[in-house]
Amino acid sequence: MSTQAVIELVDIHKSFGQLEVLKGVDVAVAPQELVFIIGPSGSGKSTLLRCCNLLEQPSNGQVLFKGEDISQPGVNIDQVRQHIGMVFQSFNLYPHMTALGNITLALRKVKKMPRGEANERAQAALERVGLAEKAASHPTELSGGQQQRVAIARAIALEPDMMLFDEPTSALDPELVGGVLNVMRDLREAGMTMIVVSHEMRFAQEAADRVLFMDEGVILEQSPPDELFNNPQHARTREFLARVTDH
């Protein structure tokens, strides 16, 4: 890879007790690339994603962010995480705070931004996710899809270098999924580097630069979506796709 990868995982292993979840995974993600990770439940996708910002500490291997090994002891991981936004399956919003308050919290606490500037930045982030008019709403007054878009706004307000999405639509009613995927499409068009774990296969086919198929803790196959979906090389990939896609 000629340009330096934004993030590179080198020989990542992760065990929980006797259970080996990741078995030597290598991934490099280029600037502005959207990498999609698919695979059956329990294949290690979310664990791999959580190793990217050290929410899970790898048992072995290195995590390089912009060339720096952030898995070394002594690295200020909170500082690193300001540059790696993450959106989870559950929205993790504070129920007692408005949408705006949820977004400004990290800006004020982490970035030490004055309230006025934080409010402006948060309002701009809400506008990007199509919720400018919901700034004063509390999470209970928002649909699941809107809450997830607020969670995305909270992450992008910190102006990260890359975004991680862990099953961002799996807790949503089907009719609310499209709004979240549209926001992710817009982010991609704006040049955000992204790693997405999701079962939204159609979105992977349309939006990804590269799709990784994981099974039993290893990456069995990776290629551009057209190749992977239309001409999978590995029997396990073919089997998985036959179950989850409509062709």
* % of the chain residues with pLDDT over 90: 87
CA distance 154 to 3: 29
Tell how far CA 41 is from the center of its chain.
Answer: 17
The confidence band for 1, taking pLDDT boundaries of 50, 70 and 90, is very low
The confidence band for 246, taking pLDDT boundaries of 50, 70 and 90, is low
* % of the chain residues with pLDDT over 70: 98
User: Would you say residue 178 has pLDDT above 70?
Assistant: yes
Tell me the one-letter amino acid at 76: N
CA distance 176 to 165: 17
The total of other beta-carbon atoms located within 10 Å of residue 137's CB is 16
Q: What are the angstrom distances between the C-alpha of 96 and each of 101, 115, 219? A: 9, 18, 41
Q: What is the mean pLDDT of residues 129-153?
A: 96
154-163 per-position pLDDT tens digit:
999 999 999 9
The confidence band for 110, taking pLDDT boundaries of 50, 70 and 90, is confident
Q: Which residues contact 120 (CB under 8 A, 6 or more apart)?
A: none
**pLDDT on residue 23:** 97
> To 10 degrees, the CA torsion angle through 230, 193, 69, 109?
-140
User: Would you say residue 247 has pLDDT above 60?
Assistant: no
To 10 degrees, what angle do helices 144-157 and 174-189 make? 20
The total of other beta-carbon atoms located within 10 Å of residue 171's CB is 15
The confidence band for 174, taking pLDDT boundaries of 50, 70 and 90, is confident
- The pTM (predicted TM-score) of the whole model is 0.94
